[in-house]
Amino acid sequence: MENNFDIFFRRKPALMLVSLKKNTRMRYGSVLAKEVDCTYSHAVKILQTLEALRLVEFDKKGRIKLIKLTPKGKQVADAI
């Protein structure tokens, strides 16, 4: 991660956080990618960065990874 500061000033990461905040249930990465209108591979890169910043966490159930906001992620999403 070159510069974590940049992630908050880009549209897609902000939209992902807000989308996760609006809908409290856990989501699939592919569904989240469609909601913010980006490719799945781009969404995965963003989500990995958000996970490294401890803003989202993944809950793995078999082959499926569900995504949810952490308490820190909720605070950031509230501020957006």
**Amino acid 3: pLDDT:** 60
Q: What is the CATH number for 41?
A: 1.10.10.10
**Amino acid 71: pLDDT:** 92
pLDDT tens digits for range 1-11: 456 655 656 78
Domain of residue 61: give its range: 4-79
| 48 vs 70: CA distance, rounded Å | 14
Query: Which residue is listed with tokens 């989240």?
Result: 32
Task: Quote the number of domains for the chain.
Answer: 1
Tokens of 63: 């082959």
The whole-chain average pLDDT of the chain stands at 85
What would the mean pLDDT of 8-35 be, rounded to a whole number? 83
**Amino acid 5: pLDDT:** 53
Tokens of 74: 């909720």
**SS3 call for 60:** strand
Label residue 78 by pLDDT band (50, 70, 90): confident
| 45 vs 62: CA distance, rounded Å | 21
What amino acid occupies position 55? Answer: L
